Amino acid sequence: MSDRSSSPDDRQPAGSRSAHYPQTVAVQPDLNIPPNFGSFSPATHRGSTVVFNTLAELRAYGDPSKTYWRYGLHATPTSEALCQQLAQLEGGKHTLLFPSGMAAISLVDFSLLKSGDDVLIPDNVYGPNRDHADWLARDYGVSVRYYHPMIGAGIAALIQPNTKLIWLESPGSVTMEVPDVEAIVAAARARNVITAIDNTWSGGLYFQPFDKGIDISVQALTKYQSGGSDVLMGATIVRDTKLYERLRRTRMVMGWGVSADDCFLVLRGLQSMPVRLAAHDRAAREVAEWLLQRPEVTRVLHPALPQCPGHAEWRRDFTGATGLFSILLHDRYSRKQVDDFVEALKLFAIGWSWGGAHSLAVPYHVPTMRAPGTWPPAGWEHAGELVRLYIGLEDTRDLIADLRQAMDATLG
Ligand SMILES: *Cc1c(COP(=O)(O)O)cnc(C)c1O
């Protein structure tokens, strides 16, 4: 085994082990690699097979105090490093990794819900989370109900004896309302209902869910943790060890695993995440303030601005904002004009999955995404089409000039 032959105590002349023929040497060479290579980077341990020293070790499978490493699908030293760092950053204790943020969301549902159970989900939840829930309702006999994201303490009236899980997302996708997490969690705790939050927007840095009593945090590591728009990965983070074991068992039977190379890339991204988030925050607020002054824009849905629903909750719960927010254009503009505006942008690319260095823009027609008749909210004057903006790491002077030229060209 290369592991043993590379140990400094086991140095033997080349070919002195039982390898006599080239094909054996091709598989089991005698290596002599000096230890203590002092790199800052974590080692990338790829591995499906984990090699045990004895059969007793192998048979202790299932008792992590005796045999920690078992199979590359479940954990490697590289994935473990990422798990521990993510838990530390978010104030949790245990992390599970997934090949996407969506897989992490799915795992939470499949771990906690069975046929006949009920789940409450905010009406502004990340779209694929909604599609997943609708699929569970259609094909798996789960009861799925959507609640208004600003329901607050009113959620108590929706909790039924079979309600097993309440999802939260703060701020919610696209429309950016910040829910009253404290009120929702208090109602859930009073009835012993588990809460899970999609905490992707804050990167796990600007909102600490476990301090608010939330049970599970989901992160799309694809976004800020990676930071490069080139890795897909997700995580569930929890504090409670029993709940962790429940999620871990489901992950194991479902066969979710991640690549050590992807873990390495996310670990690299984490080193700069706090300074990147601070830069996104500064830039996004500057662009948002500029947009507030524009006559084409009737509302800027940025949690740090008073006109965003849940601004007070954001001030109470968050220590910063990040790069993603939305604007409502005046209802005098048609959907076609708004599409033209987005296509006229030169520095903002058209695409999903924010979190990287490049700015992005996508238009949304919200009334068809929400419970009928709830969008736009009552009293919002001239609330037209929504455009979601992601402010990357370009200079804001260029980004603002780009928004101005696209508005001038298309929103006359
Ligand atoms: C992108 C995203 C996800 C899903 O992440 P993927 O890795 O793309 O599956 C989940 N929640 C939110 C809020 C997201 O923005």
Span from the CA of 176 to the centroid of ligand 1 (angstroms):
15
Span from the CA of 102 to the centroid of ligand 1 (angstroms):
6
Amino acid 3: pLDDT: 43
Ligand 1 in reach of 234 Cβ (< 6 A): yes
With cut-offs at 50, 70 and 90, classify the pLDDT of residue 264: very high
Ligand 1 in reach of 173 Cβ (< 6 A): yes
13 pLDDT more than 90: no
Span from the CA of 17 to the centroid of ligand 1 (angstroms):
50
Token match 């950016």: residue?
176
Ligand 1 in reach of 126 Cβ (< 6 A): yes
Ligand 1 in reach of 158 Cβ (< 6 A): no
The pLDDT of 254-283, averaged and rounded, is 97
Ligand 1 in reach of 98 Cβ (< 6 A): no
Amino acid 5: pLDDT: 40
Q: What angle do CA 354, 247, 64 make, to 5 degrees?
A: 115
Span from the CA of 101 to the centroid of ligand 1 (angstroms):
5
% of the chain at pLDDT higher than 70: 96
Ligand 1 in reach of 222 Cβ (< 6 A): yes
DSSP-assigned beta bridge partners for residue 146: 121
Q: Name which residue leads in pLDDT, 3 or 176.
A: 176
- The strand pair at 234-238 and 94-98 is best described as antiparallel
Span from the CA of 225 to the centroid of ligand 1 (angstroms):
12
Ligand 1 in reach of 197 Cβ (< 6 A): no
Ligand 1 in reach of 215 Cβ (< 6 A): no
The pLDDT of 241-248, averaged and rounded, is 97
- The strand pair at 118-122 and 163-169 is best described as parallel
Among residues 181, 196, 47, 193, the alpha carbon closest in space to that of 107 is found at 196
Dump pLDDT digits (tens) for 195-220.
999 999 999 999 999 999 999 999 99
Token match 């059969």: residue?
55
% of the chain at pLDDT higher than 90: 86
Ligand 1 in reach of 353 Cβ (< 6 A): yes
354 pLDDT more than 50: yes
| Alpha-carbon gap, residue 39 to 110, rounded angstroms | 40
Mean per-residue pLDDT of the chain:
94
Q: Please tell me the residue having the least CA distance from ligand 1 atom 8.
A: 101
Determine the atom of ligand 1 nearest the C-alpha atom of 221.
7
Q: 377: which DSSP letter? A: P
The pLDDT of 334-339, averaged and rounded, is 98
Amino acid 269: pLDDT: 97
- What domains appear along the chain, each with residue ranges and CATH number? 41-269 (3.40.640.10), 272-411 (3.90.1150.10)
Determine the atom of ligand 1 nearest the C-alpha atom of 201.
13
Ligand 1 in reach of 198 Cβ (< 6 A): yes
- 3-class SS of residue 219: strand
Ligand 1 in reach of 108 Cβ (< 6 A): no
Q: Is the dihedral of CA 138, 139, 141, 144 positive or negative?
A: negative
Determine the atom of ligand 1 nearest the C-alpha atom of 200.
13
Amino acid 16: pLDDT: 53
- 3-class SS of residue 245: helix
Span from the CA of 324 to the centroid of ligand 1 (angstroms):
13
Kindly report whether the peptide bond that precedes residue 367 is cis, defined as omega within 30 degrees of 0: no
15 pLDDT more than 70: no
Among residues 122, 42, 105, 32, the alpha carbon closest in space to that of 77 is found at 42
Q: Structure pTM?
A: 0.94
| Helical H segments across 67-207, by residue range | 77-90, 101-112, 127-140, 181-190
Ligand 1 in reach of 250 Cβ (< 6 A): no
- The strand pair at 360-364 and 163-169 is best described as unpaired
Dump pLDDT digits (tens) for 365-395.
999 999 999 999 999 999 999 999 999 999 9
The pLDDT of 119-126, averaged and rounded, is 98
Amino acid 348: pLDDT: 98
Amino acid 312: pLDDT: 98
Span from the CA of 201 to the centroid of ligand 1 (angstroms):
9
Span from the CA of 411 to the centroid of ligand 1 (angstroms):
31
Span from the CA of 325 to the centroid of ligand 1 (angstroms):
15
Span from the CA of 316 to the centroid of ligand 1 (angstroms):
25
17 pLDDT more than 70: no
The pLDDT of 18-23, averaged and rounded, is 83
190 pLDDT more than 90: yes
Mutation test residue for ligand 1: of 106, 177, 222, the one with most atoms within 8 Å of CB: 222
Tell me which H or E stretch contains 287. helix 260-292
* Residues whose CB falls within 8 Å of the CB of residue 218, separated by 6 or more in sequence, listed in order: 101, 104, 105, 108, 196, 197, 198, 199, 200, 234, 235, 236, 237
Ligand 1 in reach of 220 Cβ (< 6 A): yes
The pLDDT of 106-124, averaged and rounded, is 98
Dump pLDDT digits (tens) for 21-39.
888 888 888 889 998 899 9
Q: Is 174 left (phi over 0), alpha (psi -120 to 50) or beta?
A: left
Q: Name which residue leads in pLDDT, 221 or 12.
A: 221
Lowest mean pLDDT, pick from 12-21, 54-63, 284-293, 334-343: 12-21
Residues in the chain: 412
For the CA atoms of 372, 376, 378, 384, the dihedral, rounded to the nearest 10 degrees, stands at: -140
**Strand positions, DSSP E, 138-213:** 143-147, 163-169, 194-198
With cut-offs at 50, 70 and 90, classify the pLDDT of residue 14: very low
The pLDDT of 35-58, averaged and rounded, is 92
The pLDDT of 98-117, averaged and rounded, is 98
Span from the CA of 375 to the centroid of ligand 1 (angstroms):
23
82 pLDDT more than 50: yes
Span from the CA of 13 to the centroid of ligand 1 (angstroms):
53
For the CA atoms of 34, 40, 42, 43, the dihedral, rounded to the nearest 10 degrees, stands at: -20
